[in-house]
Structure 1
């Protein structure tokens, strides 16, 4: 498209009233308008919606927006309609008559935007109707959900690459607020993105003060006392549903308007808590990680964690819900080392090899185009479990996944060998997950600048201590960020056993390297130099 950047700027100004685009916005808009797949990592509130809305109006054909949050879809539809842009959303409650009207309007060019959850794209009739409308742009919001590295992994997202092909392969825009390098790589792979432009903008949230309070016993009493001293409103995250009710009760007894929130509540109860929090009727929500995406409340003043999360990915996503108005906010982690044991237990879970083999046999017996429903009946697996195991078998080269059907790959390993390959993949993923948990432990126990540690995990470098975390205030975080000598931050390296990697942090006496196959590893710099454990390869050394 000729002069796509200028057209994007004019359209953003005319339609959205945006006179000053934020860093990264114009580059992403321009790439999409020129027909290039684009992965965008930007904080919530940084204008990711505008990134797809502007090129959508320049590209011929309608736009499909995939989002896991029905409430957020409806908000987007209302916002677009206020600007006289035609948009509709589909979910499980949409009547058949309204579905037909929506698809007719889409085919006729009367509607530009259609929003739906990934579950809707498991329906063959929905995919057929969308394909008939020939969408030019497919937007995957909360794209980290496609990655099993990600903290909000959702198996329904695994179909989206096949959906894109079934729709005639529109341009793909993948959007997320937080994604470490391995998550970004898996997003690109799972969605089948073609030479995408990657725009990673602004992980740093300097207005959020970071603190870790190391605990010997149950932190409940100290947490409640801390919350009572905080400016309101805020969020408390805890690991179990039972704890949400207990802590919410304690906070209520302390005079705060607090409610529990978790996935076990009825939808109406969850919606009520969400609505009361957003409208200012609640001071605190105590939740499992179910209270997350779509919480775009600008004035959240604190996010406290009663236990350590399983990875820096989930932790940073959750604390990022504080201080979105740019004003001062606090993130406090109440850390007990024994809480890591629960995460180690769950990350140790592996699929049953006999179940994998039985599923591979069922696919082979059904032949090309096996229906997922039939496979569920034959194997007695839940839809979620079936999708996860099929994904492993696909990665083992045994099956090919479509939007609804599954086929054996000609010349693939027999079911027993396929199950063994899939098990090895699962074991490798388990080992990598444990390295992420180890990075969370390192964050909680470090005496260096906590913000610099977190940003390094996400591939960003902070040259100086931030001055707004407890280690900086304690005076222990004054070491230089990158030390001196070889293996600088972002250097590409090779390890004899772990393969290709990239240095993401370098202190005075140690390196943290993200290996493509082995995950995050912390190495003694002295050992690396004396034993020649790493070789710098340059960017071309990456596979």
Structure 2
């Protein structure tokens, strides 16, 4: 039957949104937000995350601010709300001064419930002041994994959102994402400064999506041949812009209506490709990971990866764009070990210690407080670069970041010491990134149930082999976790002598896979664990 709060949100969902039945996780998340509790929601693509915030927004006094990285998605959501007679507006770089003033006035007057904007807009002090004056009751952070340096789509502009929440008077915070492994969830909570949040993590399994890995020569011809044979429409992901253009050309030669999409194209050309795909005028979009976030096209029949992605986080989110209508869809990964080298290159590179020290020193010379713009101009570096360096210095405990302000932390170390500590943070993060890539390799090469492996990565246990992925159909899959009373079972909290605390996410006959808070994903032989005492159960 649910709690009284859940029954109340179910009634509002039915009356305002026409939802006769809520999906798993929705009532709990809606009720928590409506009662004023910060909530982190992890739901698969198409799982109904928009409804999660729209229902409590109607129950809380005051307007709702929705932060989303995608203008196209903002536009779609504003139109959908207006069709239901809900007042909604959006702000972006193209919004005129008059439109801005009118939007803020309607917010203050209580005439508009929803305002959508990209995180870049919240770098403007005038926007934050106007929003604070409107006293929002709910701050929604969509695609919340973008706030996490652990995440596969990290965006520096998201880093200021915790300080923005403070500047707005600490409204209730709803963080929404389709994919977040445990360390990403932890950093979302930390970065957004969420207060005792409820975490609602719904099932990651998408049983209508078949999982398959194929070997590849790397020349693209096998990918083009496979895509030609698959039911359309579909998406093909590549690691580089060059490969996206090449594959789109090959498919065009085969008579497939295909187009490339990547960040090197003009925005107008990218928009034209997206609109053609949404309208059914294109069968296939061949893209880098610049395409797809927030795309609401339910009938995508396949997602093909022509090259191995950098993590299972990004892989899961990208394949989640297939089969949102619940009908059968295919996820095919073309894999060769050589392509891992490219992804290792993408995770390489460490910040210059001198640059970190220069930032810390400049802050000290400014009296321990300044703003990002002044710091950027003083040092002659880009906004993205200064944000990246400040992020590391904050993680090292040397600075405190506001919406635009930068202040030295209390008892901040000397610039050189702060730089060393920040570089150590970067080194740990790079090592974690490499362990995530290793998990991607293991997924591609496993002979056990592929679905079980993928779900285990996100902390979810499949009772047995799924029977439907390529390894199950080939008869090689086995139950990964032995039956009976065993040490270090799935989800056991453990502590390693070197990597500290962690959680068992996969248990096999002869080995464990553990996600360590500091050391990332590690595979340990059980014989070494028991003989050398490497792990202890932490309770």
Q: TM-score, normalised on structure 1?
A: 0.97
Please state how far the C-alpha of 1:385 moved relative to its aligned partner.
Answer: 1.4
Q: Distance in 2 between matches of 1:493 and 1:336?
A: 34
Please state how far the C-alpha of 1:378 moved relative to its aligned partner.
Answer: 1.5
1:183-262 maps to which residues of 2 (within 5 A)?
183-215=184-216, 217-262=217-262
> 8 Å contact 1:209–1:469 — kept in the other structure?
yes
Q: Distance in 1 between matches of 2:411 and 2:323?
A: 54
> 8 Å contact 1:236–1:284 — kept in the other structure?
yes
Please state how far the C-alpha of 1:77 moved relative to its aligned partner.
Answer: 1.1
Match of 1:541 in 2: none
1:71-150 maps to which residues of 2 (within 5 A)?
71-150=72-151
Please state how far the C-alpha of 1:526 moved relative to its aligned partner.
Answer: 2.0
SS in 2 for 1:501: strand
Match of 1:370 in 2: 370
> 8 Å contact 1:483–1:508 — kept in the other structure?
no
SS in 2 for 1:79: helix
Residue ranges of structure 1 left out of the alignment (5+ in a row): 539-543
> 8 Å contact 1:483–1:506 — kept in the other structure?
no
1:309 paired with 2:312, answer no
> 8 Å contact 1:462–1:481 — kept in the other structure?
no
Please state how far the C-alpha of 1:529 moved relative to its aligned partner.
Answer: 2.0
> 8 Å contact 1:463–1:480 — kept in the other structure?
no
Q: Distance in 2 between matches of 1:316 and 1:3?
A: 35
1:289 paired with 2:293, answer no
Please state how far the C-alpha of 1:369 moved relative to its aligned partner.
Answer: 4.0
Q: Distance in 1 between matches of 2:450 and 2:9?
A: 38
Match of 2:340 in 1: 340
Name the stretch that deviates more: 89-98 or 4-13. Answer: 4-13
Q: Distance in 2 between matches of 1:106 and 1:423?
A: 44
Deviations along 1:134-192, whole A, 9 cap, x unmatched? Answer: 11110000000001111111000000000000000000000001111111111001000
Q: Distance in 1 between matches of 2:116 and 2:507?
A: 43
SS in 1 for 2:506: strand
1:4 paired with 2:9, answer no
Deviations along 1:437-479, whole A, 9 cap, x unmatched? Answer: 0000100111101110000000000011111211111101023
Please state how far the C-alpha of 1:482 moved relative to its aligned partner.
Answer: 4.5
Q: Distance in 1 between matches of 2:408 and 2:532?
A: 46
Please state how far the C-alpha of 1:483 moved relative to its aligned partner.
Answer: 4.5
Match of 1:397 in 2: 397
SS in 2 for 1:512: strand
1:6-85 maps to which residues of 2 (within 5 A)?
6-85=7-86
Please state how far the C-alpha of 1:355 moved relative to its aligned partner.
Answer: 0.7
> 8 Å contact 1:219–1:334 — kept in the other structure?
no
1:478 paired with 2:483, answer no
Please state how far the C-alpha of 1:129 moved relative to its aligned partner.
Answer: 0.4
Q: Distance in 1 between matches of 2:316 and 2:57?
A: 31
> 8 Å contact 1:69–1:294 — kept in the other structure?
yes
> 8 Å contact 2:45–2:317 — kept in the other structure?
no
Work out the number of aligned pairs and report it: 536
Please state how far the C-alpha of 1:346 moved relative to its aligned partner.
Answer: 2.3
Please state how far the C-alpha of 1:480 moved relative to its aligned partner.
Answer: 4.5
Match of 2:176 in 1: 175
SS in 2 for 1:466: coil
Please state how far the C-alpha of 1:407 moved relative to its aligned partner.
Answer: 1.3
Q: Distance in 2 between matches of 1:481 and 1:410?
A: 48
Match of 1:419 in 2: 419
SS in 2 for 1:337: coil
Q: Distance in 1 between matches of 2:519 and 2:219?
A: 34
Deviations along 1:255-299, whole A, 9 cap, x unmatched? Answer: 101100000101100000000011111111111010121222111
Deviations along 1:292-328, whole A, 9 cap, x unmatched? Answer: 2122211111111111111100111111111111111
1:409-488 maps to which residues of 2 (within 5 A)?
409-484=409-484, 485-488=486-489
Q: TM-score, normalised on structure 2?
A: 0.98
Q: Distance in 2 between matches of 1:274 and 1:456?
A: 33
> 8 Å contact 2:40–2:176 — kept in the other structure?
yes
SS in 2 for 1:40: strand
Q: Distance in 2 between matches of 1:51 and 1:141?
A: 11
Name the stretch that deviates more: 345-354 or 432-441. Answer: 345-354
Residue ranges of structure 2 left out of the alignment (5+ in a row): none
Q: Distance in 1 between matches of 2:211 and 2:506?
A: 19
Q: Distance in 1 between matches of 2:278 and 2:38?
A: 34
Q: Label 1:482 to 1:143 Cα distance change in 2 as closer, same or farther (>3 A).
A: farther
Deviations along 1:381-437, whole A, 9 cap, x unmatched? Answer: 211111111011111111111101111123200111110110000000011111000
SS in 2 for 1:19: coil
Q: Distance in 1 between matches of 2:409 and 2:500?
A: 29
Deviations along 1:71-90, whole A, 9 cap, x unmatched? Answer: 11111111111111111100
Please state how far the C-alpha of 1:368 moved relative to its aligned partner.
Answer: 4.7
